[in-house]
Amino acid sequence: MDIKNSNTCKYYLHIEGMDLAGKSTVSKTFAQTSEIKWIINDKRLTQDNPIYDFAIGLSKKGGFDSETLGYMYLAALTQDIINFKLDANIIQDSTLLLRSLNYYKNVNLNNELAQAFSKLIQQHPTPNKSFYLTADICSRRQRLAQRIEIEPEKLTSMDLLIQNDPNRFMQIDESLQNISVNIFNSEVIDTSKMSIMEVVKCIQLGCSASIQRIVLGQGITNRRGDANGRK
């Protein structure tokens, strides 16, 4: 399937990773320090998806089982894929596709949902460049302590897993990393001993040539398949 408006030369950058690897801060800093304008999408592929908003709202309220929420996220991703347009330079801060695949394959096992999300891989936009950020458990514990002190309202169940079951957390991180590498050919960056700007510079170096080609109109991104998006 072709990306709509594929004749516009824009860049699609993907930054994936588990909690406290630094991806959201890196995404914002990358955008702020870039010479070109970026839009940041957090998990969703579009800026406006009422299905995704509704699913997130129910998830925050609690009381809904993971299977019900999973089918809502599946519907949200399907709608995202239908509406996706690369009419701006986009930083994809994590993806609903990869997160859901990892969750239903390796966390809360549900083969039916895992297969349903897998069927969307070929239709999903393929980034021009993908990076997977990881960090060792000690670095994540230090970052978690800062989050608890500064932004306790942002704590997630995965954050708490760093404290309560670090081995399990790192297993989940490894499985998400493998999925990201296999599907999007992600370049892995260990941020444990790096500052935010060092990570940003690493990403800038990794995609500077391809950004130049896209912005100068010498190439376009496509869905999984050939240059026209065909499978």
Domain assignments of the chain as residue spans, ordered by start: 12-43+87-215
Using the predicted structure, report yes or no on whether residue 150 has a pLDDT greater than 70: yes
Query: What is the Cα 13 distance to its own chain's centre?
Result: 10
- DSSP-based three-state secondary structure for 219: coil
For the stretch 45-78, pLDDT in tens is 999 999 999 999 988 888 788 999 999 999 999 9
Question: Which pLDDT belongs to residue 208?
Answer: 81
Give ∠ CA 110-115-119 in degrees, rounded to 5. 150
Residues 229/61, Cβ–Cβ less than 8 Å: no
- DSSP-based three-state secondary structure for 127: coil
Please give the residue that has the higher pLDDT: either 155 or 197: 197
Question: Which pLDDT belongs to residue 157?
Answer: 81
Sign for the pseudo-dihedral over CA of 46, 51, 57, 59: negative
Question: Which pLDDT belongs to residue 225?
Answer: 45
Question: Which pLDDT belongs to residue 187?
Answer: 97
| Nearest-angstrom CA–CA distance, 48 and 85 | 12
Q: Which residues contact 220 (CB under 8 A, 6 or more apart)?
A: 3, 6, 7, 8, 9, 86, 214, 227
What's the N-to-C CA distance of the chain in angstroms?
8
What number does CATH give the domain 12-43+87-215? Answer: 3.40.50.300
- Closest by CA to 221, choosing from 117, 47, 92, is 92
Output the average pLDDT for the chain: 88
Residues 88/37, Cβ–Cβ less than 8 Å: yes
Q: Which residues contact 28 (CB under 8 A, 6 or more apart)?
A: 40
| Nearest-angstrom CA–CA distance, 203 and 31 | 11
| Nearest-angstrom CA–CA distance, 201 and 106 | 32
Give ∠ CA 149-29-196 in degrees, rounded to 5. 60
Question: Which pLDDT belongs to residue 216?
Answer: 63
Quick count: other Cβ atoms within 10 Å of Cβ 149?
A: 8
Q: How confident is the model at residue 168 (pLDDT cuts 50, 70, 90)?
A: very high
| Nearest-angstrom CA–CA distance, 226 and 213 | 18
